[in-house]
Amino acid sequence: MRMFDCKRFAAMVGKEFVQMRRDRLTFAMLIGIPLIQLILFGYAINSDPRHLPAGVLSADNSRFARSIVAGMQTSTFFDITRHPSTRAEADRLLRDGDVLFVLTIPENFGRDLLRGDRPVLLLTADATDPLASGRAAMAFPEIVRLALARELTGPDADLNQTEPPVDVRIHNLYNPEGETQYNIVPGLMGVILTLTLVMITSLAITRESERGTMEHLLSTPIRPLEVMLGKIVPYILAGYIQMTLIAAAARFLFNVPMQGSVILTFALSLVFIGANLSVGVTISTVARNQLQAVQISIFFFMPSLLLSGFMFPFKGMPDWAQAIGSILPLTHYLLLIRGILLKGNGFMDSLPHLWPILVFWAAVVAAGLKQFRRTLD
């Protein structure tokens, strides 16, 4: 008796494919969950927030300062609602959430600008919700450039030629990593894969036990590894369908820029998909019924969602949370996929994020094999 027989394994995979095809509800869930989540999250991404409340702390009343403030207003990104008179007041407005931005125009801004001293123009942004603040903050330098270009005509026009005549600085408060909204979609890919794949495969073996088919299966020479891998393979395809769906939506619906190789993303995601599917199968070797399987899946999903850096900046979490988070495959996958898609990382750059997932995968399969009940006891 060999531990693994390709023919038996192929039979198992074939059977699972046929069953997956016939199981309309599961299939609908595979496609439906990503779509619903994308629309919910994607709405936030796509809403392209405008008219965000902003305050101006100005110590200068030159035409340049006025032009910049007017430019902000007409850009529709900002609504200048407050004019705090002191730093402390401005900080309080930000802290209380009365404004999302404070523009600080220093004393003698206009004079320094004309002298070519490149005065500092500081935009302080409340970046707790990068979805809200990111886009406006990104547009700000361009608004400043256009506003100044309008004013710098005639003898001052040459100030436009060289480097920007002011030093625009954007300071993200509360979110030191400066995450942008683009982080969301790749992250969402990981979250959706975790949720659906773990949940669906966690039902895999439990369903066999509940329907009584396990008794037939166990009375045949099939081995645990063949059953477990046989249950995983068809859902790898399902995982890729989901990824394609999300990637296409990210690209075409939400215009998320993609720096790196999509092929590399898909190739390396195999490890993540496999790891999640194995978690599901392992859960189903422990769970006594399908309800338990779903409950344990959620038990795995919650920390993945909360401690992986998807919801909160990873570096900002307490040590114990980071310790738990660094075990979870989603944590590493987020770094991996954001690295590839947003920073254009290659294979070698991705390796440090890849091996922790592989280790996790191997450990989970081992646990599943150990747990797999060869009998009905």
Partner 1 sequence: MNGGTVIDVHGLTKAFDGKTVVDGLDMTIRRGEIYGFLGPNGSGKTTSIRMLCGLLTPDAGSGVCLGFDVIRESDKIKPHVGYMTQKFSLYEDLTVRENLLFTARIFGLADPNRLVDGCIERMGLGPFEHRLAGNLSGGWKQRLSLGACTLHSPDLLLLDEPTAGVDPGARRDFWDHVHALAAEGITALISTHYMDEAERCHRLAYLAYGRLLASGTVEEIVEGAGLTTWSVASRNPGAGLHGLTERLRPLPGVDQVVAFGNTLHVSGRDAAPLERAIAPFRTDGLAWTIIDTSLEEVFIDLMRQSRDGLK
Binding site for partner 1 (CB under 8 A): 1, 5, 7-8, 10-12, 14-15, 18-19, 22-23, 211-222, 375-377
Nearer to partner 1, 112 or 226 (CB): 226
> How near is the Cβ of 289 to partner 1 at its closest, in Å?
16
Nearest to 127 by CA among 49, 58, 62: 49
Phi, psi of 164 (to 5 degrees): -50, 140
Nearer to partner 1, 23 or 177 (CB): 23
Q: Return the structure tokens found at 104.
A: 């600080």
Nearer to partner 1, 213 or 259 (CB): 213
Nearer to partner 1, 11 or 168 (CB): 11
Residue keyed to tokens 């509360």: 174
Q: Helices 347-371 and 224-248 sit at what angle, rounded to 10 degrees? A: 140
> How near is the Cβ of 212 to partner 1 at its closest, in Å?
5
Q: How far apart are CA 235 and CA 83, in angstroms?
A: 57
- CA 99 to mean position of chain CA atoms: 26
Q: Which helix (H) or strand (E) holds 169?
A: strand 167-173
Nearer to partner 1, 162 or 220 (CB): 220
> How near is the Cβ of 241 to partner 1 at its closest, in Å?
20
> How near is the Cβ of 374 to partner 1 at its closest, in Å?
8
Nearest to 309 by CA among 286, 281, 329: 329
Q: Which helix (H) or strand (E) holds 200?
A: helix 184-211
Nearer to partner 1, 223 or 353 (CB): 223
> How near is the Cβ of 219 to partner 1 at its closest, in Å?
4
Beta strands 101-105; 120-126: pairing state: antiparallel
> How near is the Cβ of 197 to partner 1 at its closest, in Å?
21
